[in-house]
Structures are given as C-alpha cells and as structure tokens.
Structure 1
C-alpha cells in the first residue's frame, strides 16, 4: 500500500489495516481515500442497506470513534453497492419493535450518532434513500448524490411511524410546505428534484460520486476544526428543544398501526 499523504490528500482506495473487524452490519474505515476522512458504510446490500437496531448501534460506535480521533476531520456515511444508500428500517425489525412496544428493547439512536458528532458529516447517496435512509441523508451536514439517487418518505403509506424532530427537522432543510409534501404524500424524488428543493448539495454522474465526495472532504479538512465544531453546535440550537422531548413522541409512535411490509 502506498503511504498516505498529509491530512486532506488523496490516498489509494485499498483495504486498510485500520478497518475494525468486529462490526457485522457496517464497514468502518479511517483515512479511506482521503487522509483525515472516516467512512461508515452500511453493509446490508441484500436488503438495500435497511438497518436494524444493531446496525444503528454499530454506526453510533463507529461515528463516536471517529469523532474522538484527533486525526479524523470529516465522516462519510454511505451504503454498500450501487443500488441503495439506505432503504430505512428493516421491516422485520420494525414489526418486532412495534409488537414489543414500550416494554421492548431500549431505544436506539435513529441516526447512528451523526447528530451528536461535532465534526462534519457527509452523506454519500449512491442510490435509494428511503424512509430512515432519507433521515440519515438530510440529517447529515452535507449530502452528495449520484444522478441515480432517489429520495422518499414512506411512513404514512406503510404504517411505519416517525415523529418529533425526525419529522420537523426537514422543515429547516426544504421549508415547511415541501417538508409536509414529502412526509404526507410519500412521493419519490429524483436527485435533480432533490437538488432543486435543497435536499442535497450536489448531484454528479454516478461514476464521479467518489471523486466529488473526496473533493468535499479535502475542502472541509482545510478549515479550522474548532470553527467547524462551533458552527455545528450553533446550528443544533434550531431543533435541540424539540429533540429533548423525543421520548414522548417515541411512545406515541409505538401506538401506530402495524408496519405493512409491502412497499
């Protein structure tokens, strides 16, 4: 393997010795492609990278590790393969959560720790970003999409509950009217439509997706980490009060109709 250059420089996209071997649902790589960038990849392509509570727990562990590493300045979230970024919650897992209700397993962070991380997070959207996958994309600080990407919410269509700041945060991204359209009508949007409404920052040909993500990583890594941390904390004040009441919304969500496995 060629030696990695200084922070922000491109390095070969080869398997790295720093990949943590203990994860089953994700790949976690530090200094992947760009020195100073950590990649967290949902590795469940057989179910379009749909997540379970275990997946989210692993994501949170990886993100927290990257946030604590002084050599990491930016985090990339993506999905394995070319078909899907993330198709949201695995239907079988969601059904189990609803059956068990409040007596079930302890709640998991629905965004795998990316909100609490004070380092920039980029969503690399390589395909479908649906339901909880769309949450991951719009809660990231930046979203770079392949021209093949598709964005959608499906909750009211299939009876999969979401509530509180998970929903209302989207108004800060695309405005209240568009957010209600996305959530209540469950339409699908192309990458270009997502760009036009401000849901993503950039759309590129699929074969240039990694190149574009690398460029954004490099640009962010040239900025003051302290300033970026302060900016992230400042932006969080917009929705932090609602987030503090999320436990109440979570109980209400568990009372929703059973999840319909048909999409």
Structure 2
C-alpha cells in the first residue's frame, strides 16, 4: 500500500488536484500529519477527497472529527493518532463498511466502535479499556493489536471466533494470557515486553494456534505448558536472554512442532540451544 502525506495546509487548487488523483488511486492512503511547519488544525481539507478509501491522521491540534462527514460512507481504513485533546469518536459510526481501524490515545466515546460491525483489523495503542467487551460482538474481526496502555482484561478474546491474529505489546501490568490460550480459532499469537506474564498451563483448547512469538518476556521461564498445544507448528523466541539452552528442551515434546527460531543473547547459548533442539532449530537470533 502506498501513502501520500500532507504536512501543512495547501492551496485549494492543490487539494483539488490531489483529490482527483486519489480518485484514480483508491488503494493509496492519505496521511495528514505534523512535521514542524504550519500545522493542519482541522479536517476542512477533506472536502476535496470525496473518493478517499484510506486515511491516517497524526495531528496534535486536532479537536474534532466532525469533518470526516466529507468522506464517502465506503471508507475502508482509518487511523487516528494521538492529539492534545481527544475528539469524540461518534462521527465514525457512519462508516459502516470500515474494515481497518487504528486508534492511539483516543478514548472518548470508544463504545462507538461496537457499531462498526464489518471491522476486520483493529489496532489500539496507548489506550486503557476496562474490558474488550466492546469488540466481542464483531463477527468479522480477524486481527487485533493492543499496544501500550493498561488494558489488562482480555477475557473477551477467548470467545472471538473470527479472530486469527492477536498481538499484545508492552501492556502495563498485564499478566493473564489465558484468554488467548482458550481461543480455539486463533492462528497466530505474538506477545512482547510484558515481564509479569507467564505461559498458561493449559493450551489444549488452542486448536487453531500455528505460530507463537514470544519477545522479551522475562516472566516466561517454563516452556513445558506448550506441550499441551495440539497444533503448534512454529515457536519464535526473540531476545529471551534469561532462558538457558536447556530450558528449550520441552519444545521437543510439542506435537507437530516443526520450527523454533530463537535468540538467547549470545552465540554460545544459541549454539548450545541448537544442540538441544536438533532438527527444530533452523536459525538463531542473538
């Protein structure tokens, strides 16, 4: 996907030309963002983009999203970055065909998201939600990313039957991966930088899980629970310096496992891990 960026206000004739260009390039994303010059302070310029399909906003002085009304109801992708004041998300409800949504530090009227039933990809960054119940009724949601913030309760994930890809990144105080391990349909799980989270003891319900990536997770010291995962094909252990080569031995007992990609912090430890894993060790990361 290509991106065209706007970093400062343009003349109307330039907006008009650009809007016509986007009509011919519907797969291109428009990115409006600050870059140290005269800032875009509102979204009035969107009146020139009647055929836009993808929009990303990173505007510190953005105060409302009302002028999203200039865009077509068929908008397919929208990302709203952090701003000094949080605008209401209610203007998003008219985009019933929205497939991808990204929000960074945008809490106000977050329940509006539950009305966007066609969403397939949601990315929540630097948000703290009490629960994910807002997302639980989305039957088309295939990918969910939660990064930073303090959303610790992901219980709703275990009942998301359409979800195939879950990524959890540096969530403050996060401890419980159980709902992810209990999702029967999830195919890929990536976890990064949450030192208090350990592996759940039981992965027998994770029948769809094929790929598990564990990155900089100091609380993951025991890999034996993964022997209960019935369909796991690939395990990635990235920047897991606290593990000893011998700690990887339980992976030999994971039924169906074909590959382990790993980095234990030094060439010596990686070579020792290769000897432990044998045919499961196609490559090493330091």
TM over 0.5: no
- In the superposition, the TM-score normalised over structure 2's length comes to 0.31
- Ranked by relative contact order (alpha carbons within 8 Å, sequence separation 6 or more), the top structure is 1
Instruction: Give the helix-richer structure, 1 or 2.
Output: 1
Greater Cα radius of gyration, structure 1 or 2: 2
TM-score by length of 1: 0.33
